Structure formats: structure tokens, C-alpha cells
């Protein structure tokens, strides 16, 4: 029971950190939408769909934050968070490797980070998303085992 409670707390903390990140960056991107669209229109990878991504990305972040907030949909929120963070990290890695040196199309104060700092930041959050899902699965197994064994803990 203690393990299950600890796992649940860890999942809640990881989810709260992602909620904070996605709500902050989503709102920042929407509030500076024209600037954000202008910056990604210079990106070699997504410039052809800059208008679409300028709306899709911040809205997706807010939707994922909502999924993480609701306990029933938290698992889906963690999965989508992991996918999003992998995509963002891959994009940053590409920008670094291509040495394009364009300004970061990040939200809020994150745009003050260098590309390398942002890569480390995103990498950390990607690992956290993976950990959140791992704890989620561990918690499910723990509860299932106890249910089967009918042993009070």
C-alpha cells in the first residue's frame, strides 16, 4: 500500500510539472501568436505549414495539460507528453546539427535558453514522461497483484 501511494504521488508530481510546462508555453505561444508564427516560418522543417503549426502546437499542449489534470485520462496525457517531448527534442537536435542558428521558437522565458540548454531541458522532461509511464504501469501491476492475492496491505 505504501509503494502504491508513493507511486501515485510521483505520478501526480510528474503530471503537475508537465501541466505547468504545457500551460505556460501554450499560453505564451498563443499570446505572442504572430511572433511565434513568424519565427517558425523561418524553420527549415515546418515552414511550409507554419500557420497550421502555429495554432496546432499551443492548442495541443493545452489539451494534453487537460488530459494530465483529469485522473482518468492521465495515462493518455503521459503517453502524448512522451510523444510530444520526443518530437520537440528531435526538432531541437536537428536544429543544432544543421547549425542553422535560428532563434528558438519556444514559449515564454524558454526562448532565452540556448539551443543546447533547451536540448538538455527537453531531454530531462522526456525522461520524466517515460518515468511517469513506468510508475503508472508499476502501480497498475501492484494493485492487480494485491487484488488477486486478496492480501490486505
Partner 1 sequence: MRKYLLGMVAVVLAIGFSAFTKESNPKSSTLTAQDFIYNDYPDDTWIGDPAHYTLATSSLSCSGTAHRCGVTAENDGNDHPVLTGATIFRKN
Q: Which residues bind partner 1 (CB under 8 A)?
A: 12-13, 15-17, 19-24, 27-28, 31-35, 38-39, 41-42, 65, 68-71, 99-103, 108-109, 111
**Least distance to partner 1 from the beta carbon of 25, Å?**
8
CB 20 → partner 1: shortest distance, Å?
Answer: 4
- Considering the complex, state which of residue 28 and residue 126 has its C-beta at the smaller distance from partner 1: 28
Minimum gap (Å) between residue 80 Cβ and partner 1: 16
Cβ proximity to partner 1: between 47 and 90 the closer is 47
Q: Least distance to partner 1 from the beta carbon of 148, Å? A: 25
Please state whether 104 falls in left (phi above 0), alpha (psi between -120 and 50) or beta.
beta
| Closer CB to partner 1, 71 or 90, in the complex | 71
Identity of the residue, 34 or 151, whose beta carbon is nearer to partner 1 in the bound complex: 34
Full 3-state SS string of the chain: CHHHHHHHHHHHHHHHHHHHHHHHHHHHHHHCHHHHHHHHCCCCCCHHHHHHHHHHHHHHHHHHHHHHHCHHHHHHHHHHHHHHHHHHHHHHHHHHHCCCCCCCCCCHHHHHCCHHHHHHHHHHHHHHHHHHHHHHHHHHHHHHHHHHHCCCC
**Which of 39, 82 has the CB closer to partner 1?**
39
Cell digits of residue 96: 543544432
Least Cβ distance, residue 21 to partner 1 (angstroms): 8
- What backbone torsions phi and psi does residue 105 show, to the nearest 5 degrees? -90, 50
Amino acid at each position: 500500500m505504501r509503494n502504491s501511494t508513493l507511486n501515485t504521488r510521483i505520478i501526480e508530481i510528474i503530471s503537475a510539472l508537465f501541466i505547468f510546462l504545457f500551460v505556460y508555453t501554450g499560453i505564451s505561444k498563443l499570446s505572442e501568436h504572430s511572433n511565434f508564427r513568424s519565427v517558425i516560418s523561418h524553420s527549415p522543417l515546418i515552414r511550409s505549414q507554419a500557420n497550421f503549426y502555429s495554432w496546432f502546437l499551443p492548442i495541443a499542449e493545452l489539451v494534453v495539460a487537460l488530459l494530465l489534470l483529469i485522473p482518468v485520462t492521465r495515462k493518455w496525457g503521459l503517453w502524448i507528453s512522451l510523444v510530444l517531448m520526443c518530437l520537440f527534442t528531435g526538432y531541437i537536435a536537428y536544429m543544432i546539427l544543421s547549425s542553422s542558428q535560428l532563434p528558438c521558437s519556444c514559449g515564454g522565458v524558454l526562448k532565452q535558453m540556448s539551443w543546447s540548454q533547451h536540448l538538455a531541458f527537453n531531454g530531462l522532461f522526456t525522461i520524466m514522461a517515460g518515468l511517469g509511464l513506468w510508475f503508472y504501469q508499476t502501480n497498475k501491476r501492484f494493485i492487480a497483484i494485491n487484488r488477486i492475492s486478496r492480501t490486505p496491505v
